[in-house]
Structure 1
Amino acid sequence: MSNGRKNSMQRVSDSPRLLRLGAGASPARDKQWFCNPGSGAWPPPTIPGRIMMMNPDQNSDPLFDFADADDYQRLRDLLAAAGFLDESVLEAIGINDLPDLASDHPLLLDRTAGGSALHTLIRLFLMEMPVEADTFAQAIRPMAADSWLQAGLVRRHGSQVTAALKLLPFRNLILAFDLPALLQTPQRSRYVMGIGGSTITLSQLTIRRHCRQTLDLGCGCGVHAFLAAPHSSRVAAVDLNPRAVRLAAFNARLNNISNVDCLEGDFFGPVAERQFDLIISNPPFVISPESRFIYRDAGLEADSVCRRIARQAPAFLTEGGFCQILCNWAEKDGGDWGQQLAQWFGGSNCDVWVMRSESLSPAAYGSKWIRHTEFSDGETGFSQRFHQWLDYYERLGIASFGAGLITMRRRSNGTNWFCADESPERMIGPCGEDVARGFALRDFLETVQEDAALLACRLRFSPDLRLEQQFTPSAQGWQVSGSTIQLARGLAFQGNSDTFMANLMIHCDGKRTLQELLPDMAAALKADPARLAPLVCQLIRKLVEQGFLLPAGQENES
């Protein structure tokens, strides 16, 4: 049986969100948004109308707030009436996905030439084009252009209006975040990233069960906090960047989400006295010798930022709570990458499942991330920076770089397990329940470590299992020449199969134990059942790990 190993989560390593995680928590710098000054109560009561801000940052950034609190509702109504929603925008411009927006600019210009409010909003906020001030004023009626200007959404340049932020419809949300052009200005360190590949990856992998308390650590524009809000009683969205906190607070108000508290601070400092059923983090995981881009560079050596989150998170998890972190990590020569990573979790009281999506050489890794952000250095500047990065990696003894998802579950009773896997080649739709089911399946395997215990179990093939066979003509007629198995949704593991494996899975119907199936399997192979049993058990364990086979009764459970 072969394993899919390469590209299912390739985007895991794309575009980390803005979050500066420094050397330690600084309680004096922690600031609370969505709070009642002086109440002392936690969680703070929701305040209708204006966002209450403690110690607002004194700088030239706009506050990202409407002077008239009713303008949030007006803006929601205006965008809905214009059709500025995921499906409507895609239909209007005839593309499959909003990230494709810049792929054919002349064609998109033609498709947005009608002058409707939707076309104006698409050009302004998605295509980043200036529009005439009169056209803009007509598109946003009955709102006034001045309210958009004062809130920091647009800028006026003579007779034209340009976007000051990106406004993007995403999964029934409208999200404001920074334009990429900010990265080329002195304010680049305050850049707040929007929807990147890593955002989508983590959103698909997040375990979505009801939580009393959820933490989005390094919230950026707040997207993961908002996606968690429907299944959480309360969500804390934490970021060290004050601009990110203000944008997250603005987005919460814009989307009428009242159970998200936007907090400014370092690591777990703003939530030091709290525990969470779910912690989600997409930190600045790029391993580099620089700290030029806060959303990219952690400013700590090697993979220290991800290691630190992994080591500190268990203290903030409830029993049975999950922590999910998108990570890059350094891999040293002369050792198994999983064993190296396992050292992060000693004494954590957590079960840990790591899915590695890719492994890159230092040259490939450095080139990827330098080209991701350096737009104006030219080839000479690129070459200089590239060699600086390679020298840094050589000094640290880094042989390769891994990328993927780390999921931790706090379990204080019993012996904790650690599992390091290659990710499947594809993710099909939401995968959070598959991640949770993976923990349940590994728990099951921990209880049947002896072959005799496993053989006494009844297993059933997953309802998502698909078996495909290839037939080749021969003198004796059509013969099976190859088989593949794959899962049709979620973590879509796949692999090659032979006739024996296919028959084994087909006969796992949940009615008979493996011990009862063994004689027929042995007879088909003309083998001794006693000698075949260890091989069958080894194969069964792998099929269970990847979700092809489930303990009877778990077909619809996680």
Structure 2
Amino acid sequence: MDLTPARALATDLAAAPFTDAALKARCGDAAFAALTRADAVPARRMLERRGDDPVAVLARLFVCGDAVPAASVAAALSSTGLEGAERAGVLVRDGETVRAALAIRPHVFSDGADGWIVSDLDELAGVFPLRPDHVLGVGGAGRTLVAMLPESGTGAALDLGCGCGLIAFELRRRGFSVVATDISERAAAFTRLGAELNGLDRIDVRVGDLFAPVHDERFAFIASNPPFVITPRSADVPAYEYRDGGRAGDALMADVVTSLRAHLESGGRAALLGNWEDRDGLAGLDRVRSWTQGIGAWVIEREHLDPVRYAELWVRDGGMRPGTPAHDALLTAWLDDFEARGVTGIGMGWVQLTEGSALARFERVAQAVDHGPLAAHLDAAWETDRVLAGLDDDALDAAVMQVAADVTEARHHLPGAESPSVIELRQGGGLARVLEVDPALAALVGASDGDLPVGVLIGAIAGLLEVDADALSDDLRPRVRELLFTGQLAIADGPRG
């Protein structure tokens, strides 16, 4: 793949302008939404009516995977030219028509800037089953990991298993210099081309397995959407590079997590997506706990699937259609593998690690979460963990609290009852937690308006409830610490007497 024409190609894409907004304007809301569901038919109908409009031509070529008249493509890529685009490896000519050799799709980065992501053509373009070295574009997992990245940073960052380069591009845009690695030569080539198209320097792309390309290097931040899919080790089961790391069960995930510490700077952080098995009577989260000894860990299981549902998910992900012999054979192979190894369930979620922290938090958070403000929430939680580590009980009692603006209280009464049977604190942002509390904690949160210290409030509440103040303090302090970590309370001021 010749990168020399990449800047001219970027000029043509920008001039069209080949952006999400422009594509949506040509397709209409409903057809554009269908594209996100891998259905190109509605968009194709609208784009064909646009004739030689550059956005329509480029979308038909690089999004829908259509054969497009060569003259139309030459006009849309006037700076690059058809020969330049061929040298770059992005299209192939077939007589009077042109087809894309890969997908180039508009993307809006988290800072609002327009750009492009290079990947392989997929089911949206009618490609199935996928090739074993398929390079995935932007999907739900990638968007989730983007939301987990720090809002800004300096120093070196590692994108482990870079795929199409989305995470590397986001890390660079947030201020890091980036090393991006992948075992796939094809993924590395796509990441290099994507970096050129988006005008991003200081992204060093290397090929190799896991940490091999960076064996003696340390980073301020490591991000990874590794090939964590649990796949039967059978010659009859396709091994897709973008999702299958070639290990049995969740061994690849264990390798990544246990190896990370050696590559983090002091105070460095990591964010990963992953899957883990419930196996031989041991819950997956407990198995992950054993992988994180010696490093601060916050692991969130977002979803839990039984073996049948998990197998169905990934067989279909490879383009196999239910009811076909190929689909049924693969599903059987997955279920045989799970049964043979004693797997009863599979957890899917997030792993966050911080070198130098003592945090050990393993939880299930299944509710829907707004990814927009997630990065700020996660950054604040890790900072709060650092503060809490140096905050003894006396300092906590002297601290003044402020309830977060997104926290509301819900009280549930049985018909005719004077007192509530259930009191809940509901978090509007963050991880959208709903916490059932007792009257004492509800009173403390309700009175946390940035005025009086925690110790004074607990004393007053103990008097109102006619309970021992010391016993109430012992009960409430750890729960106040929990509310601080989860972002439902914040320290509003320094200690007061």
1:98–1:275 Cα change, 3 Å: farther
Measure the CA separation in 1 of the matches of 2:344 and 2:413. Answer: 44
Measure the CA separation in 2 of the matches of 1:362 and 1:113. Answer: 46
- Where does residue 207 of structure 1 map in the other structure? 150
TM-score by length of 1: 0.78
8 A contact 1:428–1:492 mirrored in 2: no
8 A contact 2:267–2:355 mirrored in 1: yes
- Where does residue 257 of structure 2 map in the other structure? 310
CA shift, 1:331, in A, is 1.7
Measure the CA separation in 2 of the matches of 1:372 and 1:244. Answer: 18
Greater Cα shift, 146-155 or 501-510: 501-510
8 A contact 2:399–2:493 mirrored in 1: no
1:94–1:280 Cα change, 3 Å: same
One-letter code aligned to 1:352: A
- Superposition pairs of residues 59-138 of structure 1, within 5 angstroms: 63=1, 65-66=2-3, 69=4, 71-95=5-29, 99-100=35-36, 102-103=38-39, 105-106=41-42, 108-110=44-46, 113-115=49-51, 116-138=53-75
1:491 is paired with a residue whose SS is: coil
Q: Deviation string for 1:324-377 (max 9, x for gaps)?
A: 11110112254454332211122x4x2111111011111211121112214258
- Is 1:160 the counterpart of 2:97? The answer is yes
- Where does residue 16 of structure 1 map in the other structure? none
CA shift, 1:234, in A, is 2.0
- Where does residue 189 of structure 2 map in the other structure? 246
- Where does residue 296 of structure 1 map in the other structure? 243
- Superposition pairs of residues 358-369 of structure 1, within 5 angstroms: 358-369=303-314
8 A contact 1:112–1:122 mirrored in 2: no
- Where does residue 332 of structure 1 map in the other structure? 279
- Superposition pairs of residues 543-554 of structure 1, within 5 angstroms: 543-553=483-493
- Where does residue 467 of structure 1 map in the other structure? 408
- Is 1:432 the counterpart of 2:366? The answer is no
Measure the CA separation in 1 of the matches of 2:46 and 2:80. Answer: 27
- Where does residue 399 of structure 2 map in the other structure? 457
Q: Deviation string for 1:369-425 (max 9, x for gaps)?
A: 1122142584443333222212211222222111111111111xxx83311122353
Measure the CA separation in 1 of the matches of 2:201 and 2:34. Answer: 27
Q: Deviation string for 1:439-490 (max 9, x for gaps)?
A: 222334444575x664343322224x231547989889x9978765433434
Q: Of 139, 146, 166, which aligns to 1:196?
A: 139
Greater Cα shift, 176-185 or 507-516: 176-185
1:238 is paired with a residue whose SS is: strand
- Where does residue 375 of structure 1 map in the other structure? 320
CA RMSD in angstroms comes to: 2.9
CA shift, 1:275, in A, is 1.3
8 A contact 1:459–1:513 mirrored in 2: yes
Measure the CA separation in 1 of the matches of 2:359 and 2:437. Answer: 28
Q: Of 432, 454, 465, which aligns to 1:514?
A: 454
- Where does residue 276 of structure 1 map in the other structure? 219
- Where does residue 223 of structure 1 map in the other structure? 166
- Where does residue 385 of structure 2 map in the other structure? 442
- Where does residue 322 of structure 1 map in the other structure? 269
TM-score by length of 2: 0.87
CA shift, 1:204, in A, is 0.6
Measure the CA separation in 2 of the matches of 1:101 and 1:335. Answer: 36
Q: Of 349, 353, 356, which aligns to 1:408?
A: 353
Q: Deviation string for 1:2-38 (max 9, x for gaps)?
A: xxxxxxxxxxxxxxxxxxxxxxxxxxxxxxxxxxxxx
CA shift, 1:244, in A, is 1.1
- Superposition pairs of residues 3-18 of structure 1, within 5 angstroms: none
Q: Of 174, 181, 205, which aligns to 2:116?
A: 174
1:401–1:317 Cα change, 3 Å: same
- Where does residue 22 of structure 1 map in the other structure? none
CA shift, 1:245, in A, is 1.1
Q: Of 291, 299, 302, which aligns to 1:344?
A: 291
One-letter code aligned to 1:306: M
CA shift, 1:274, in A, is 1.7
8 A contact 1:277–1:321 mirrored in 2: yes
- Is 1:532 the counterpart of 2:472? The answer is yes
- Where does residue 343 of structure 2 map in the other structure? 398
Higher relative CO (CA 8 A, sep ≥ 6), structure 1 or 2? Answer: 1
- Where does residue 420 of structure 1 map in the other structure? 362
8 A contact 1:214–1:277 mirrored in 2: yes
One-letter code aligned to 2:381: G
2:72 is paired with a residue whose SS is: helix
Measure the CA separation in 2 of the matches of 1:541 and 1:153. Answer: 54
Identity value in percent: 27
Measure the CA separation in 2 of the matches of 1:190 and 1:341. Answer: 29
1:88 is paired with a residue whose SS is: helix
Measure the CA separation in 2 of the matches of 1:449 and 1:360. Answer: 40
One-letter code aligned to 1:504: L
- Where does residue 38 of structure 1 map in the other structure? none
Measure the CA separation in 2 of the matches of 1:72 and 1:446. Answer: 50
CA shift, 1:86, in A, is 2.4
CA shift, 1:501, in A, is 4.3
1:341 is paired with a residue whose SS is: helix
1:353 is paired with a residue whose SS is: strand
Measure the CA separation in 1 of the matches of 2:415 and 2:344. Answer: 49
2:132 is paired with a residue whose SS is: helix
2:350 is paired with a residue whose SS is: strand
Structure 2 residues without counterparts, runs of 5 or longer: none
Measure the CA separation in 2 of the matches of 1:378 and 1:430. Answer: 41
CA shift, 1:525, in A, is 3.7
Measure the CA separation in 2 of the matches of 1:487 and 1:145. Answer: 54
Measure the CA separation in 2 of the matches of 1:356 and 1:288. Answer: 20
8 A contact 2:182–2:207 mirrored in 1: yes
Measure the CA separation in 2 of the matches of 1:86 and 1:443. Answer: 40
1:504–1:459 Cα change, 3 Å: same
1:302 is paired with a residue whose SS is: coil
Measure the CA separation in 1 of the matches of 2:221 and 2:359. Answer: 19
Q: Count residues in correspondence.
A: 479
Structure 1 residues without counterparts, runs of 5 or longer: 1-62
- Where does residue 255 of structure 1 map in the other structure? 198
1:552 is paired with a residue whose SS is: strand
Measure the CA separation in 2 of the matches of 1:490 and 1:467. Answer: 13
CA shift, 1:137, in A, is 1.9
2:230 is paired with a residue whose SS is: coil
8 A contact 1:92–1:112 mirrored in 2: no
One-letter code aligned to 2:431: L
Greater Cα shift, 269-278 or 496-505: 496-505
8 A contact 1:330–1:398 mirrored in 2: yes
1:377–1:364 Cα change, 3 Å: closer
- Where does residue 331 of structure 2 map in the other structure? 386
CA shift, 1:188, in A, is 1.8
